[in-house]
Amino acid sequence: MEKSSETTPGEPTPSRRGFGYAVIYGLGALIGAALAIPAALYLFLPPKTRKQQSWVEAGDLSQIPPGTPQEMTFRRIHADGWKIYSEKGTAWVVKNPDGKVMAFAPACTHLGCAYHWDADKSEFLCPCHGSTFGIDGTVLSGPAPRPLDRFEIKVENARLWLGPVHQAGETSS
């Protein structure tokens, strides 16, 4: 717009006009930035994280038959925005015959559907897009991009405790 205004008659001298433009655009830009930057931070930065519960007790390991995955449910505290819930959580827990324990997060690594254990075929099957996983969590078929995510675990007096979830290959911290 301002470009074509150069042809408009009856205006102040060019230098005064140039100064006017500088003031208008300069101050306008300052105001815009002073509002836009906090707005962007407000919308795109994660809020200050509240301390989340790090370890939850999932249940008694001795109840789990070796070699068959079991769905264990537990209650955990979950902070969501301004609300704190006590919610149900689940994990697929596998106890190997040698006593080694793994706990898989209950969401398929493809698009987050809940999968289940297919006892006949001895594999985890996701009903959404047909991904299948072995008992060790590795991808057998389907679109899943990576093995099942695992909970960090610890065992105290045969009680299973679940920690943060890690993607396969991530080092546990």
Partner 1 sequence: MREIQRKIFAWFDHRTGLETAIRNFLYEEIPGSSGWHQVLGSVAVFLFLVQAFTGILLAFNYAPTPGDAYNSLKYIVTEVTGGRLIHGLHHWGASMMIVVVVLHMTQVFLFGAYKKPREATWMVGVVLLLLTLAYGLTGYLLPWDNRAYWGTVVTTQIASRVPLLGAYLSRFLGTDGSVGVVTFARFYGLHVLILPQLTTFLIIFHIYLVRKHGVAPTPGDIGPTKKFFPEQMVKDVVAIFAAFVILYLMALFVDVPLGRLADPTDLSYVPRPDWYFLFLFQTLKFFEGALEPVGSVLLPSLGVLALFLTPFMDRRKVMRLTQRTTALGVAALAVIGWGALTLAAMKTTPAAPEQQAGNLQQAADWNQFSPAELAGLGYFRQEKCLACHNLTEGLPKVGPNLATAAEHKNAAWMIKHFKNPNQVVPGSNMPPILLSDAKLNALASFLLKLTPENANDVASAPDNLVHGAQIYETQGCGNCHMVNGAGAKLGPPLNGLSQRRDQAWVEKHFANPAALSPGSIMPPAQLSTADMQAIVDYLFSLPGA
List of residues contacting partner 1 (CB under 8 A): 1, 4-5, 8, 10-12, 16-17, 19-21, 23-24, 27-28, 30-31, 34-35, 38-39, 41-43, 45-48, 50-53, 77, 79, 81-84, 86
Whole-number Å distance between alpha carbons of 165 and 161: 12
Closest to partner 1 by CB, 31 or 114 = 31
User: What is the edge-to-edge ordering of all strands in the sheet holding 123-125?
Assistant: 116-118, 123-125, 132-133, 139-141
Closest to partner 1 by CB, 81 or 97 = 81
The 10 Å Cβ neighbour count of residue 95 is: 21
Whole-number Å distance between alpha carbons of 153 and 6: 73
Q: How far is the CB of 173 from partner 1 (least distance, A)?
A: 18
Q: How far is the CB of 6 from partner 1 (least distance, A)?
A: 12
Closest to partner 1 by CB, 18 or 67 = 18
Closest by Cα among 106, 4, 22 to 58: 106
